[in-house]
Amino acid sequence: MDLSSINGEVIGLVIALIASGAVAGLLAGVFGIGGGAVLVPVLYQFLTWLGVDEAVRMHISVATSLGIIVPTSIRSFMAHKKRGAADLELLKSWLIPVPVGVVIASLVAAYVSGDGLKGIFAGIAVIVGLRMLFNRESWKIGNDIPGNPVRAICGVLIGFFSTLMGIGGGVMNNTFMTLYGRPIHQAVATSSGTGVLISIPGVIGMVWAGWGEPNLPAFSLGYVNLLGVALIIPITTFAAPFGVKIAHALPRRSLEVFFGLFLLSVAARFAWSLWG
């Protein structure tokens, strides 16, 4: 490969990453979601247009999303912790279960195909999307968070599925806590801590899982694209406030419905690519 083709590949990658960050940041601002559930399908689409090998495209999207979540989740958690909003007791009880789920997910990611990863993302996106569409604040299955082993099992599952989706676990943790009677503000604050427990070991696991993998784009460390992490963080930070302005013009219930429809459309798009 000559120098001009390498430069062309890098320029194309930079353009795709900037565009991914802008779209994901805007949508994350609109929906009030940490970004992973939005960024993964957006980044996947731009990597498709860029011609990145299909065998690693979904892995790169998921791993790079986790890399972006690391600094944002740490910053968010420290801010929530300072306000005393997070449930530190729950997070302490998840110091082992959540990372265990992440490790298992990293082992799965090392051997599952890109289509398998898309299928997992699509399946979870359908469940979460339907929950958003039909969500009721009155839905509860208990008055307080259960103890072990149920709590530990839930932590492992949240870590496992969040890693394979490239998300910080916010949607899943929020659902878990609110179904057991916790206020949404506490659930959101605690989710930032869950994001730390997921993203840091998740990035390490995805670097290991993709180590030596052929056909990765430039600046990749395993499946984590370092250029993507470096570019997308400031771009999403810049674009998100514009989405927030749109969000404040719409009722909260409308945002839930729109996000549910977004996830279902992503799931349909992935399913079509698998079966079409």
- pLDDT at residue 3 tops 50: no
Question: Would you list the domain boundaries of the chain?
Answer: 3-275
Tell me the pLDDT tens digit for each residue of 23-73: 777 766 665 555 677 788 888 888 888 888 999 999 999 999 999 888 878
Q: What is the pTM of this model?
A: 0.84
Q: How confident is the model at residue 4 (pLDDT cuts 50, 70, 90)?
A: low
Give CA–CA dist 22/243, Å, rounded: 10
| Residue bearing the bigger pLDDT, 159 or 186 | 159
Question: Of 92 and 234, which is predicted with more confidence?
Answer: 92
Asked whether the predicted pLDDT for residue 174 surpasses 70, the reply is yes
- Per-residue confidence (pLDDT) for residue 56, from 0 to 100: 92
* Calpha distance 146→140 (Å, rounded): 13
**In 3D, which of 89, 53, 36 has the Cα closest to residue 216?**
53
The SS3 call for residue 245 is helix
Position 29 scores a pLDDT of 61
Distance between CA 10 and CA 73 in Å, rounded?
A: 28
